[in-house]
């Protein structure tokens, strides 16, 4: 198994990369700006006796998406799995969200997954081999979250993109699925963890009374797919 995990310098992406490495996969670790985090993930992958490379790219830009996919294919002689995990969240009242902030969220969370999957699929068409795509969505593809409209819109779009591509790419042997976690203890939720009122209200709705962990997502949605 050869996999590219986007946004793998920390959080859910790092957890997925490590779990796949422990199962014997070679891992391309994508990141945008956290060099040290990407290196930590690489060291963890290599400690699991797996091959790994680091690929810096801003996946909100199509040219950089193409470069990331191409480098990953070249490094391993192909890819079998794409995990679209890279994402960003801007928590702000709807009436205060700027165009730049909206674009930042939608361009990475939805556009990035769209064009990464497109580039991945095109290369698989050329080899006539099947492949797998896993989109890391969110509970907010279904559940409204006031103050997070752009993020909810991006994840709702990702849900429908997943459903559409699952049908469109199936004849080519490419499966497309999504995992939609709830609140996970990752850097994207740093502000939440420091807001005692919000955190208390959220935990009251979670049966385990705790935030999820990256390995919960890796183990429940990605592990064992090889």
For residue 107, the tally of other CB atoms under 10 A from its CB is 18
Instruction: State the DSSP string of 88-113.
Output: ------GGG--HHHHHHHHIIIIIIH
Catalytic residue among 31, 91, 102, 151: 151
For residue 199, the tally of other CB atoms under 10 A from its CB is 16
Backbone dihedral angles phi then psi of residue 14, each to the nearest 5 degrees: -65, -40
For residue 118, give the H/E element and its range: helix 113-127
The CA distance from 8 to 30, in Å, is 6
91 is catalytic: no
CB-based contact 6:38 (threshold 8 Å): no
The neighbouring-strand residues paired with 4 are 28, 82
Closest CA to 39 of 27, 24, 54: 54
The neighbouring-strand residues paired with 178 are 135
The CA distance from 146 to 96, in Å, is 12
The neighbouring-strand residues paired with 174 are 131
Q: Which residues are catalytic?
A: 151
């Amino acid at each position: 198994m050869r996999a590219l995990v986007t946004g793998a310098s920390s959080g859910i992406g790092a957890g997925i990369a490590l779990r796949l490495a422990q199962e014997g996969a070679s891992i391309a670790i994508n990141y945008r700006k956290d060099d040290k985090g990407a290196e930590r993930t690489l060291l963890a992958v290599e400690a699991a006796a797996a091959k790994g490379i680091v690929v810096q790219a801003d996946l909100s830009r199509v040219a950089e998406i193409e470069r990331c996919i191409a480098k990953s294919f070249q490094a391993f002689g192909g890819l079998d799995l794409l995990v679209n995990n890279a994402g960003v969240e801007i928590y702000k009242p709807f009436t205060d969200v700027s165009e730049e902030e909206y674009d930042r969220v939608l361009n990475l969370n939805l556009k990035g997954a769209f064009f990464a999957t497109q580039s991945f699929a095109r290369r698989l068409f050329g080899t006539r081999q099947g492949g797998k795509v896993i989109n890391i969505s969110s509970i907010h593809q279904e559940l409204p979250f006031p103050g997070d409209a752009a993020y909810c819109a991006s994840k709702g779009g990702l849900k429908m993109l997943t459903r559409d591509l699952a049908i469109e790419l199936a004849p080519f042997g490419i499966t497309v699925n999504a995992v939609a976690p709830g609140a996970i203890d990752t850097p994207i939720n740093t502000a939440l963890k420091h807001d005692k009122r919000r955190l208390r209200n959220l935990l009251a709705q979670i049966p385990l009374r705790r935030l999820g962990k990256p390995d919960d997502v890796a183990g429940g949605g990605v592990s064992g797919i090889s």
